[in-house]
Structure 1
């Protein structure tokens, strides 16, 4: 009987020890954060342009993934957000992921394609309204149109000089991702009369907030597009 009691006591001790070990393992399993959704971000392109705030780095994968690496540090992204380039360092969001701890991440790419990766975008679902981000990103307008001034309404314009670098754009350069020049040269059209139908300017000190006109060319409609204000004049070139 004594031996039986000893065996039962030892067995009970082992079971208790096993139970003690299992408890923290089960608890830690419940705390593992995982990706719960990963899908394309399909909101209007104009609502998916961002500046980086510098409060979060850019990762190669959603950072709950063990193999995720920092591809651009937060300090570098902060500098990009306040740069004065032409707009190359704006970011476009194109995928979105949520995690089990209630966070949202966007996959973004810079307009010049130099930077690409996942970045923390706050705790609000951006799939319905992609302007409602926080964390490492803030939504921005890259270009804003203004009412056309009266003096431009009936003014005939011409390209300033017959040079290849005078361009027209579908959207002013680096104000939309992968949307840029409409015409690679205006050399053959510099004597064409132009009419300005829209006016607008870059934002966030990109290209010093330069002004653009949208011009139309009745003789050659393929010319129609946005052009820098400095590239047109009221007198035809010789």
Structure 2
């Protein structure tokens, strides 16, 4: 009787182990099959200036396309929310440069912050933003970083001069931190202290970056290499005398 019971128990144990392994195999296959696959992954081709964003704080930033092998959260959604409301000069704007779609119909953008501190993939909704990169939802909001307008007649007809020409007084191709990898045009204005400047455009930083500072686009007919954007506070209609 004892041998019989041992034999029965042994068979029962083997059956339990077999069922367990079968269930594990089924679960592994199911999880592998259920994971969405990447059906699209390509660079964005639209005007880079239309691909500037701030995170909404509702989606996290991932190291790789979410749900793919080794994809991890690099920045939590709550932390991205604080990045979006930081009133800096624009270092934490995001530039989108790749789009991906997964088999479950979700779209993701790969982004990098202007200061390169943040980089990764973020969910942007169920519509393909490739042709219109401003039409994103969920994790990102399309933003204007700098708003330009025509100067008034008074400003346009006024001759301006650099207020404090020095190494830190620069002109910019695009005002600092308003476009990704586009910045200073001139390293210093010291050599052009006596040049007359004309203002042809006015612009304002947006989203409370740098306190929404106003910039002038100045043109220097004597030295066109000076032409560029400069803070309005760094030029004046009063010509000063500098001893350089």
Q: Which residue of 2 aligns with 1:114?
A: 117
Q: Which residue of 2 aligns with 1:31?
A: 34
Question: Which one of 185, 188, 191 corresponds to residue 188 of structure 1?
Answer: 191
Instruction: Tell me, in whole angstroms, the C-alpha distance in 1 between the residues paired with 2:236 and 2:198.
Output: 11
Give 3-state SS (helix, strand or coil) of 1:121's partner.
strand
Instruction: Tell me, in whole angstroms, the C-alpha distance in 2 between the residues paired with 1:122 and 1:180.
Output: 32
Q: Where does the alignment leave 5 or more consecutive residues of structure 1 unmatched?
A: 1-16
Give 3-state SS (helix, strand or coil) of 2:49's partner.
helix
Question: Which one of 73, 76, 97 corresponds to residue 94 of structure 1?
Answer: 97
Q: Which residue of 2 aligns with 1:78?
A: 81
* Aligned residue pairs, count: 220
The alignment yields a C-alpha RMSD, in angstroms, of 1.8
Q: Is the CA contact (8 Å cut-off) linking 2:125 and 2:136 kept in structure 1? A: yes
Q: Which residue of 2 aligns with 1:53?
A: 56
Instruction: Tell me, in whole angstroms, the C-alpha distance in 1 between the residues paired with 2:85 and 2:144.
Output: 14
Shift of 1:150: 1.4
2:183 is aligned with 1:145:
no
Q: Deviation digits for residues 31-68 of structure 1, max 9, x if unmatched? A: 33111010001111111000011101111000121301
2:234 is aligned with 1:224:
no
Distance 1:124 1:188, change over 3 A: same
TM-score after normalising by structure 1 = 0.88
2:66 is aligned with 1:63:
yes
TM-score after normalising by structure 2 = 0.86
Q: Which residue of 1 aligns with 2:217?
A: 214
Question: Which one of 165, 168, 171 corresponds to residue 168 of structure 1?
Answer: 171
2:161 is aligned with 1:158:
yes
Instruction: Tell me, in whole angstroms, the C-alpha distance in 2 between the residues paired with 1:24 and 1:205.
Output: 51
Shift of 1:206: 0.1
Q: Where does the alignment leave 5 or more consecutive residues of structure 2 unmatched?
A: 1-18
Runs of 4+ in structure 1 over 4 Å off: 20-30
Distance 1:29 1:58, change over 3 A: closer
Give 3-state SS (helix, strand or coil) of 2:125's partner.
coil
Shift of 1:236: 1.4
Q: Deviation digits for residues 167-206 of structure 1, max 9, x if unmatched? A: 0000000000000000010011011000000001000000
